[in-house]
Structure 1
């Protein structure tokens, strides 16, 4: 996956543009704990949002479940599908 990825979307009429990268993605993954998911997701989104749409992000993060749903949408687009074949 290229490091120059931009993911643009509109949520509830608000435009958002994210620039995910492997460092931020890995940090998010490493911060996840069974009892702590919202804070890592929120921090991840704040790390990868463009300055121009940061204000809109805060409005979405104020909604219940906003951080987790949005993180899922961004990572679904960013993280590639892998074709895995197990050989014994």
Structure 2
């Protein structure tokens, strides 16, 4: 999958445009650890936002909750719309 997507998020009165690829998302997930979540999210945001918007975005990323909210929204929008249902096993026994 080589889908490159441009996603624009509006934060207050500012807009930020991100360009994500599967490689960006994979790198993000591969760097997450139990004790390190904010830094990978910050890196994802800063490396995928348009270059001329980086300074404005960086000024918003001092709050870790803002970082996680933005990254979560970005990833949710990037993900495909797929309906997934868990099938429960049958309770009937085979004879």
Band of TM-score, shorter chain: 0.7 to 0.9
1:34 alignment partner, SS class: coil
For 1:84 and 1:11, locate their aligned partners in 2 and report how far apart those are by CA, in whole Å.
30
Q: Cα distance, 1:17 vs. partner?
A: 0.5
TM-score normalised over the length of structure 1: 0.85
For 1:22 and 1:32, locate their aligned partners in 2 and report how far apart those are by CA, in whole Å.
16
Q: Do the aligned partners of 1:18 and 1:48 also contact (CA within 8 Å) in 2?
A: yes
Structure number, greater radius of gyration: 2
For 1:65 and 1:85, locate their aligned partners in 2 and report how far apart those are by CA, in whole Å.
31
Q: Which residue of 1 aligns with 2:78?
A: 78
TM-score normalised over the length of structure 2: 0.79
Tell which has more relative contact order, 1 or 2 (C-alpha 8 A, sep 6+): 1
Q: Cα distance, 1:83 vs. partner?
A: 3.4
Q: Which residue of 2 aligns with 1:7?
A: 7
> Is 1:47 aligned with 2:47?
yes
Instruction: Count the aligned residue pairs.
Output: 88
Q: Which residue of 2 aligns with 1:62?
A: 62
Structure 1 runs not aligned, ≥5 long: none
Q: Do the aligned partners of 2:2 and 2:22 also contact (CA within 8 Å) in 1?
A: no
